[in-house]
Amino acid sequence: MSLLYFLKPQRLQYVAALAQPLASCLNSGINRTPCPQIPPKTGLRQSSSPPVTMDDLLSKSVPPLAPYETKEKYPPPSERQSLHFMQYYRALEKEERATFLGKLATEFGVDHAQVAELSSKVVQAQQKRDMGTVLQVEDRLRYYLTPQYKVLFWHISKLEGGMKFLVDLRADLVESLSSKMADGPHIREMNGVLKSMLSEWFSVGFLNLERITWQSPCELLQKISEYEAVHPVRNWTDMKRRVGPYRRCYVFAHSSMPGEPLIVLHVALMQHISASIQAIVKEIPPSELEDGNKIKSAIFYSISLTQQGLQGVELGTYLIKRVVKELQAEFPQITEFSSLSPIPGFTKWLVGVLSSQSKESGKNELFLESESKEISDILGGPLSESLKRLFTSSEWMRSERLVNALEAPLMRLCSWYLYGEKHRGFALNPVANFHLQNGAVMWRLNWAADTSPRGGTSSCGMMVNYRYFLENTSANSVRYLRTKHIEASDQVLNLVSQFKRNSKL
């Protein structure tokens, strides 16, 4: 290196800045005065690159759709670009992610001009009845209907941790759409595209059924405890009971997401179909051995999707079917398969109906006159307003008088909510819709089945059994999906008839 390099003014200034503190350090001798830090080389070959913008990152990371003619031989993007995309996205805040996803969906979707041109060529070829050309152009059209971001997702899926990243990204998409943080046709389309891709990757043929026991990895037990969405796990003792004697816990897992349960199903093995969740989650001695003679019924009492990005991907239906086969092989004596299901949304629906009736007619037409008088005497105020306040908590369930007075009217109303309230012709309640699609029968509505605060506030303490008659589930499912017919027991139908006679909606 030449001497002239060091004689440049800025180099001399830097050397001078170093000299003085270093000299004092050397002269300090035995006192061992700490030497100062060497100052940064300001102005010396330092280049601070500007932060990467969203637009730059997207333009560099999202690979273009290969030309149709060379699609089979087009080189894939570098892994580094896809990894950079993942790192960048993970570092964003929630609001920034919504903006980022909006840009990705809007600016890197389908080439609409190309699609319009090819669509026109298809029409022209059909008019000429040239089927060879029609099929060729249709194949091109299918190819160019592929959004550009779909190519990116496909490449990310092949990276280590890429599948989990895409599942989490779709969870952000679902949340953004539900909260209106990011909305519009492009973002809804991207959500649908990613859901379709995940449905293929997580089809039942690629899933592993695993039984969870107390000997399963601690980390897995912890995740199952945290993911439980129906009946929260209180502590490790509670968790041990749920995987112990007379209980089964199963999960679906995927090889691309090791250590991550996708969906969890809890089963109670009992002598009869339970009408109370307290009978299932009560204390059971951990050392008790299973007696096969006491096991006649399998009760599905909790099913929880652990990955919100897999909403709409059909996992629960296949999980129940696989578990039924496992239980039949282990306990051939089981004759009854049923759920004990919560009724989320019933209290909210009921309060809405009470509000609507009081506004429109000024009086309550959901209860018999004798029921209204008895409840009003207990509450000491206008019925509708008192009930709306009452149902904001589960404290009313501590009053035996109220529990007895409300049983008949609330059982009627809940039966109608489950059987008669519809969304696009199907059951409004999502849990009911799930089990009915699986071919189950709406078998029994249970009063005071969940006396926990959560059960009281969400469904006034009621739960419902959806019973699986295995020889009829396929026919029931087809009938429900095609004609929207709900298969129900006499108990449920009688309650619905009582509602129609005694209530007005």
Count of beta carbons in the 10 Å neighbourhood of residue 31: 6
DSSP state of 266: E
Active-site pick, 341, 458, 459, 503: 341
DSSP annotation of 244 reads S
Rg (CA), the chain: 32
Strand 336-339 to 263-270 pairing: unpaired
Closest CA to 246 of 285, 186, 212, 290: 290
The two tokens of residue 195 are 């859901």
Backbone angles phi, psi at 335, to 5 degrees: -115, -10
Which one of the listed residues 274, 339, 435, 459 is annotated catalytic? 435
Characterize 224-257 residue by residue with b for buried, 16 or more Cβ atoms within 10 angstroms of its Cβ, and e for exposed.
bbebbebbebeeeeebebbbbebbbbbbbbbebe
What the block records as the tokens of 422 is: 């519809």
Closest to 344 in 3D by CA, of 423, 265, 433, 426: 433
Beta-strand pair 336-339/297-305: parallel
The answer to whether the CB of 266 falls within 8 A of the CB of 291 is no
Helices (H), 364-440: 369-379, 383-390, 400-419, 430-437
User: Are the C-beta atoms of residues 458 and 277 closer than 8 Å to each other?
Assistant: no
Q: Which two tokens stand for residue 238?
A: 């509670």
Residue carrying structure tokens 């001399």: 12
Cα–Cα distance between 412 and 301 in angstroms, integer?
Answer: 23
d(CA 350, CA 348): 5
**How remote is the C-alpha of 349 from its chain's centroid?**
22
Distance, CA of 442 to CA of 168 (rounded, Å): 34
Count of beta carbons in the 10 Å neighbourhood of residue 385 = 13
Q: In whole angstroms, how far apart are CA 12 and each of 22, 37, 294, 327, 416? A: 15, 18, 91, 83, 89
Q: Which residues contact 468 (CB under 8 A, 6 or more apart)?
A: 320, 324, 337, 338, 339, 438, 439, 440, 441
**In the annotation, is 266 catalytic?**
no
**Catalytic residue positions?**
341, 435
